Structure 1
């Protein structure tokens, strides 16, 4: 068990295990787990990403989840994804300051146009688990998607990265509860793809909607300008279009 302290207060409890099916499932299904708990696995045998996709477990990469207990007066739960993304950026920048990572809506971290990390939030009642997968050492091969790792920028074990992410998430969770929703959206936009970025949204059922990024709603939903109007997108897979050739 690893604990991180700030000003004498315990921010998080981090449990590192060798192997599990899914840290998200384990933590969400543990009735004894409380907000601030983290479960980190050196290997996941049933890790998953959005829309039920498999999340590959490669040695040296980070797989970990934390729990949030929703309270009366909390912001809309959907906006927690913004806080999770910002926490992940902060943690990666602490580990690899020169990497130059950016956020891609709704839950990916990009490095040089390739995916280097992802987030999956799942909810049961008033409990939300936020799962993080970070390619610290190895980039998995994913058909149709460019991937990369942080190996050229930092050599760090998953258990060393865990306290950085736990501390960043604790700070961002506090900001999520104390800031206005618009402030969090603006903070995300400062770290994400700029307004006007061409992209395509896939809904998981074979449908695609193309347009350009037009900002975020306060709850974290994306605004997509298709040329004939602005659509609010609350779920979907986003593919960024390559920049036009000079």
Structure 2
């Protein structure tokens, strides 16, 4: 079942609104979508550019899964965004970069931020924040960014409107979430791996307190990146800024 979509003209952050609703006891699954954010956030507290015409959406949902397993929803989100972009982009343009950056011709086009907490009832809530560059790409970012508008199929003149894109995203997310909940993580990981590049070559992982260089050797069963360092040690990277094929 597809959760209802609440479309707002402006909000500080769709993730912040999801948190407020969850901490207020709202136990219903729902999408919170905004035409504009005044205080959008990316990973590690980075500002998320909020140009009008792009998609800013958060799925608020509850789960009975333990926190470590619930974190797998980031792979579900990446697949859902990839399917959304596939509906409008030139064939073959869409790919995924570990763990959840969705790329158009190798350039980042979206951001995904997962936040969570526990309600008074003990249920774990998840806020799956998704920002997709539909019409515009931010400038001056650490790594290049692009928008769907620059990669449209030849028979499509304009990127989808925000409400239309939100509907497609809700539909694709519901499909992958249902597979995850009924079949477990492996089918999700298999589909994600088929779309992901760079899992068998040089990479650099910036982990905040250290930078690790080596060769990627695929992913572990839980989705962690397997990184073989020059001394032969195997590191499992669960989170961090990872760059494939070139130095960070």
Q: TM-score, normalised by structure 2?
A: 0.87
* 2:165 aligned with 1:167: no
- 1:27-106 matched pairs, under 5 angstroms: 27-30=18-21, 31=24, 33-71=26-64, 76-96=69-89, 98=91, 100-106=93-99
Tell me which of 209, 212, 219 is aligned to 1:209. Answer: 212
SS at match of 2:5: strand
Closer, same or farther: CA 36–92 of 1 in aligned 2, 3 Å: farther
* 2:92 aligned with 1:114: no
**1:17 deviation in Å?**
0.7
Contact 1:68 1:127 in 2 (8 A): yes
Contact 1:19 1:42 in 2 (8 A): yes
Q: What is the RMSD computed on CA atoms of the aligned residues?
A: 2.1
2:137 alignment partner in structure 1? 139
2:148 alignment partner in structure 1? 150
Contact 2:53 2:135 in 1 (8 A): yes
Point out where structure 2 has 5 or more consecutive residues left out of the alignment.
119-123, 153-157
**1:23 deviation in Å?**
0.2
**1:119 deviation in Å?**
0.5
Point out where structure 1 has 5 or more consecutive residues left out of the alignment.
1-9
After superposition, what is the alpha-carbon deviation per residue over 1:49-79, rounded to whole angstroms, capped at 9, x for unaligned? 1111110111111100001211258981121
SS at match of 1:19: coil
Closer, same or farther: CA 118–99 of 1 in aligned 2, 3 Å: farther
Closer, same or farther: CA 72–117 of 1 in aligned 2, 3 Å: closer
**1:21 deviation in Å?**
0.8
| Larger proportion of strand | 1
Instruction: Tell me the number of residue pairs that the alignment of Structure 1 and Structure 2 aligns.
Output: 233
Which deviates the most, 74-83 or 155-164? 74-83
2:10 alignment partner in structure 1? 19
Give the distance between the partners of 1:166 and 1:35, measured in 2 at CA: 15
**1:241 deviation in Å?**
2.5
SS at match of 1:12: coil
Closer, same or farther: CA 47–230 of 1 in aligned 2, 3 Å: same
Give the distance between the partners of 1:73 and 1:200, measured in 2 at CA: 30
Give the distance between the partners of 2:170 and 2:27, measured in 1 at CA: 14
2:184 alignment partner in structure 1? 180
